[in-house]
């Protein structure tokens, strides 16, 4: 096989850089918009529906569950990479990790009597938030200006949540790159057919979740989220159903890797 020409390698490298920033932007969009929405929907709709309402305020609930609220959606979104197999998606965790490491290393010690390391860990990874609920914008601004837990929670939302999301997204992308799908004549060859079937079912599950979220957003009058979730539901359902149809139609078989 002939070696790729220099121009071809340069073009491929340019596309890899382009897709890297696309995946990186997806991580930050999820944290900026979807994580707060998911926290509000879980607190206001899901938990009461399950007869487990919480007395925590909106920000207190968000900050107290920021790991799950950022990691899980990013992991599920990263599974889409199994369809496109962008290798650069496996490395998006490096950017938020580097930023968080810089913030952690440069965090000032509270006083000469306290160590910098425990203070930085509490700032960016600590829990135990006590943020009162607000009833007006004036109360919100007052809490934001005077409540140390509010300041700490916003710091975690800004710097730590992208780290969680980046790790989840890259982990799913790593899994996706190791699920091989190829068609040869009238057969479908999968290196990991069971894993690919599970991945297809996950696509369908995510699509159903987005459909439920779309209905909830419609009832709440959040038209931007109606558009976002409807498109996400359509995208995930099409991918999942199409892959399941192909597996059922051709019958997956293991690829011989010992040749």
| Residue 25 sits in the same domain as residue 145 | yes
Whether residue 252 sits in one domain with residue 189: yes
* Same-domain check for residues 139 and 248: no
* 170 and 201 together in one domain: no
> Domain ends where: 178, 195, 225?
178
Tens-place pLDDT, residues 3-25? 555 555 546 667 788 889 999 99
Least confident of 130-134, 151-155, 192-196, 239-243: 192-196
**pLDDT, tens digit, 9 for 90 and up, residues 51-88:** 888 888 889 999 999 988 999 899 888 887 767 778 88
- Span 160-186, average pLDDT: 75
Q: 116, 26 in Cβ contact below 8 A?
A: no
Q: What phi and psi values does residue 182 have, to the nearest 5 degrees?
A: -150, 145
Residues in the chain, how many? 259
Same-domain pairing of 257 and 214:
yes
Instruction: Work out the angle between the directed axes of helices 148-155 and 116-125 (0-180°, nearest 10).
Output: 80
Q: Domain limits at 141?
A: 1-178
- Please check whether residues 51 and 67 belong to one and the same domain: yes
- The CA distance from 59 to 36, in Å, is 9
Distance, CA of 32 to CA of 126 (rounded, Å)? 20
Average pLDDT, the chain: 77
Q: Dihedral (C-alpha) 232, 211, 92, 180: value to the nearest 10 degrees?
A: -80
162 and 210, same domain (yes or no): no
The pLDDT value given to residue 169 = 92
Number of domains in the chain: 2
| Same domain membership, residue 154 and residue 42 | yes
Domain identity same for 10 and 61: yes
Indicate if the pLDDT at residue 172 is higher than 50: yes
Which pair of tokens denotes residue 206?
A: 């995510």
Q: Over 70: is that where the pLDDT of 199 sits?
A: no
Q: What pLDDT does residue 244 have?
A: 65
State in Å, rounded, how far the first CA of the chain is from the last one: 18
d(CA 258, CA 222): 54
The pTM of this model reads 0.69
Do 174 and 185 fall into the same domain?
no
The verdict on 123 and 247 lying in the same domain is no
Give the model's pLDDT for residue 230.
Answer: 79
């Amino acid at each position: 096989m002939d070696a790729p020409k220099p121009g071809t390698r340069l073009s491929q490298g340019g596309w890899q850089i382009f897709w890297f920033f696309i995946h990186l932007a997806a991580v930050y969009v999820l944290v900026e918009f979807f994580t707060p929405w998911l926290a509000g929907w879980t607190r206001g709709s899901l938990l009461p529906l399950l007869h487990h309402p919480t007395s925590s305020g909106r920000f207190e609930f968000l900050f107290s569950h920021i790991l799950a609220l950022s990691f899980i959606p990013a992991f599920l979104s990263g599974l889409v990479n199994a369809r496109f197999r962008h290798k650069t998606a496996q490395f998006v965790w490096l950017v938020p990790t580097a930023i968080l490491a810089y913030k952690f290393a440069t965090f000032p010690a509270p006083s000469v009597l306290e160590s910098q390391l425990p203070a930085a860990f509490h700032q960016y990874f600590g829990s135990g938030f006590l943020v009162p609920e607000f009833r007006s914008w004036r109360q919100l601004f007052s809490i934001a200006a005077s409540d140390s837990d509010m300041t700490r929670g916003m710091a975690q939302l800004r710097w730590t949540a992208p780290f969680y999301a980046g790790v989840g997204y890259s982990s799913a992308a790593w899994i996706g790159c190791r699920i091989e799908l190829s068609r040869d004549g009238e057969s479908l060859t999968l290196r990991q057919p069971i894993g690919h079937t599970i991945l297809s079912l996950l696509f369908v599950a995510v699509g159903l979740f987005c459909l439920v979220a779309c209905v909830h957003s419609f009832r709440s009058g959040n038209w931007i989220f109606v558009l976002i979730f409807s498109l996400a539901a359509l995208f995930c359902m099409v991918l999942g159903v199409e892959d399941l149809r192909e597996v059922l139609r051709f019958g997956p078989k293991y690829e011989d890797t010992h040749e």
